[in-house]
Amino acid sequence: MGVLNITPDSFSDGGRWLSGDKPDLDALRREADAMCASGARVLDVGGESTRPGAAPVSEQEELDRVLPVVEVLSAGCDAIVSVDTSTPAVIRAAADAGAGMLNDVRALRRDGALAAAAQTGLPVCLMHMQGDPATMQVEPSYGDVVGEVAEFLDQRATACRDAGIDAQRILLDPGFGFGKTLAHNMALLAGLSRLLDLGFPVLVGLSRKSMIAKLTGRDVGERLAGSISLALLAAERGASLLRVHDVAETADALRILAALKTVEKE
Ligand code: 7PM
């Protein structure tokens, strides 16, 4: 899954795809084509920055940022267009514009989001976050982080099924960096099998995150090796979908893992 953030302030690609306050559709189209040629099967389009302390965006702003991009990408691209949103109106409009997946860092807990998602019939990714984006990194705290994240995701998956979402259309995501310290993030990576035990495919987003800075001291522009390493470790532990900024480089790493798995099966 390649990341395309249509926001002025995302930590690693902020403002890159905006000209003024409008999405730069030509540049996005080129980047999307490059990601697909490099092996992306899903493109994740987001119009709300979930950076700690980020300014909230209005519903209209989110619609203006995301919808034209969904339209352009779903028309001329083989990849599934995923929309990173928590907003019911954006969920509905994105589905009408051709989106093929919904990705919600709030796991469809906003008023009306669950019903809106169910109505679209699209696959949904449910992510765990402790607190909200403004304050989540202030003092994250857990007794048993893996157990608590698993419990939350299991409950949200049940809520989705009760709302009419097919079990086959649910993905789970531990939400690396969303209300978590480095120790919490590493415990979740080490304990990924306990999330797989819930019976749903697992998506992970580790690309360029600050846990890499904590482990390597690298600035955001210098986290490629750390990002690939984490992606590969997650894939090796059973993650089904990797949300990444550097598609070509991650795809190379996955080819190597796939070759090893083939030999191990023989
Ligand atoms: C600041 C902090 C800016 C975090 C951007 C981010 C995930 C996601 C994001 C994830 C799923 C980023 C994140 N991260 N959706 N959206 N899983 N499902 O690194 O880990 O792009 S935003």
Distances (CA, A) of 29 to 70, 71, 75, 77, 124: 10, 11, 10, 9, 24
Using the structure block, give the residue that is written with the tokens 């993030």: 185
Report whether pLDDT(12) > 80: no
Query: Do 157 and 126 touch, CB atoms closer than 8 A?
Result: yes
Q: Per-residue confidence at 49, pLDDT binned at 50, 70, 90?
A: confident
Q: What's residue 206's pLDDT? A: 98
Q: What's residue 250's pLDDT? A: 98
Report whether pLDDT(156) > 90: yes
Which positions are catalytic?
A: 209, 243
Q: Ligand 1: which of 105, 128, 129, 244 to mutate, most ligand atoms within 8 Å of CB?
A: 105
CA neighbor of 125 nearest in space, from 200, 13, 39, 208: 200
Ligand 1 in reach of 88 Cβ (< 6 A): no
How many other C-beta atoms can be found within 10 angstroms of the C-beta atom of residue 134? 14
For the chain, domains (ranges, CATH) are: 2-265 (3.20.20.20)
Tens of pLDDT, residues 91-136: 999 999 999 999 999 999 999 999 999 999 999 999 999 999 888 9
Ligand 1 in reach of 84 Cβ (< 6 A): yes
Ligand 1 in reach of 243 Cβ (< 6 A): yes
Q: What mean pLDDT is predicted for residues 48-55?
A: 74
**Residue of 168 and 21 predicted with greater confidence:** 168
The pairing of strands 42-46 and 2-5 is: parallel
